[in-house]
Amino acid sequence: MRDMLRRFGLSERGVLAACDASFKHGIRFDDWSGPGSRCLHPFHRHALPRDIAARWLASSGEPPFAAIASAQAALIAHERAPRPAGAPEFTGPVPYAYHLDAEKFAEYLAGELTSRGVTRQSAHVTGVLREGETVTALRTEDGAPLSADLWVDCTGFAGLLLPEEGRDWVSYADRLLCDRAVTMRVPEDDPAYTPAPFTRARALEAGWCWDIGLRHRRGRGYVYSSAHLSDDEAEAALRAEEGQHSAELPARVIHFTPGRRAAPWQGNVVALGLAAGFLEPLESTGLFLADFAARALVEMFPAAPGLPMQPLARRYNALLAEMHDDLADFLALHYAVAQRRDTTFWRDAAKAALRSERLRELLELWQLRPPSFADFSYRYSPFSHTAWEFILLGMGWRPATAPAGTTPCAAPAEALTRQMLDALPDHGTLLRHLAQACR
């Protein structure tokens, strides 16, 4: 997301102030391999010897692999920000992302676009006029039709601009069992409150619960399988997780089917965002997918007007299919290698994840050696082999050919991590500094 904001020419300070945002070092998966277990997926990785994973597997497993491989394990533990206060925007010694209010971000983007000359027209669409696969116009409530050469369908799961016969859905429900989420917003009015600089994803009975800290509130949600838990039970579990003060807070249940459109570009309509596909928010892939799809669409624009679009649409659809399939396998990995087996959901989820032939083949390969860049041919994925390695080793997965040793693993980059700890400010301190600079 940082690169996206920079490409858009936006102010980092402006986004942070307008969107109630905080910084994010990565995601911590709590209790996925049993009570008290923690698996960290950070954005940063030290430049380490190629065999560091093999060395760690031959050790006693201490310190945790993320603490060996990334400075962000220590930065999270000490609640450090990812960049100094005086650093240029979007720069710092480690990669980072943001937690932000999605609704405020949408309004902020709309304001930026209109200030740059983009026309924003608000209307309620009552009908779609078609000639074959081509959408010729949209009928609106005020009676004025809207016409365009190309339509981007952002109507969510419904995909209303796509033709009825073109809404085929490739489901991942056979390998990713979660299909509901109950969400809640928790106000934070205490002046001493500081948002955590990471996303917490804690395993619960039939799924997992997120805790995301913004500057003035926290976002809470329970992602679960409706085959294993009712909506009422999920809401009760979320409120119990948050505490008694959540009793009067409104909650909302969202239904979804994990999957993707078979062909998001048809005729002169391109489905984007939720209209093109959805994966549970386990690794915060939603905004990435929308941005990737938009960039890919721009790359597909023909060199001159009047040229045939079908070859471009085929390439675009193949690109989006590959991306969604790759991300679905990465999410399935979490359930496949998590060691939790105490409820029916976790036992079923582990089995379901292995319905992916590609994931089974990768895990078979990694019984022989740790993940390598050579295992992945899809170059556009946001998750390289090192991301898969953080999940594998962090969840407690261990190949049968690598029995645990008895001595701790040496940390080759310990001095560099210490330098970052000494140089970077507290997360709350940086947020307050940036907020004051925007006044």
**Coil, helix or strand at residue 56:** helix
Q: Is 351 a catalytic residue?
A: no
- Residue 153 bridge partners (DSSP): 271
Place of tokens 């909302």: 252
58 backbone dihedrals φ, ψ, rounded to 5°: -85, -5
Place of tokens 């003035």: 216
Give the angle 110-112-118 at the CA atoms, nearest 5°.
70
Give the separation between CA 90 and CA 6, rounded to whole angstroms. 7
**207-213 and 38-42 beta bridge pairing:** unpaired
Give the separation between CA 276 and CA 345, rounded to whole angstroms. 28
- Residue 204 bridge partners (DSSP): 207
- Report in angstroms the alpha-carbon separations of 24 from 185, 214, 262, 277: 19, 10, 33, 25
222-261: string of b/e by CB count within 10 Å (b at 16+)? bbbbbebbeeeebbebbbeebeeebeeeebeeeebebbbb
- Whether residue 162 contacts residue 275, with contact meaning beta carbons closer than 8 Å, is answered with yes
Give the residue among 383, 396, 423, 384 at the shortest CA–CA distance from 75: 423
**CB-based contacts of 23, cutoff 8 Å, min separation 6:** 81, 82, 83, 96, 97, 98, 99, 197, 427, 430, 431
- Whether residue 324 contacts residue 289, with contact meaning beta carbons closer than 8 Å, is answered with yes
Question: Which amino acid is it at 425?
Answer: P
Burial classification of residue 56, based on how many CB atoms lie within 10 Å of its CB (0-12 exposed, 13-18 middle, 19 or more buried): buried
Residue 365: both structure tokens together: 């390969």
Residue 80: both structure tokens together: 């450090």
Instruction: Give strand ranges (E) for 71-124.
Output: 97-99
Give the residue among 191, 213, 251 at the shortest CA–CA distance from 98: 213
Exactly one of 5, 15, 21, 24 is catalytic; which is it? 24
Residues designated as active site: 24
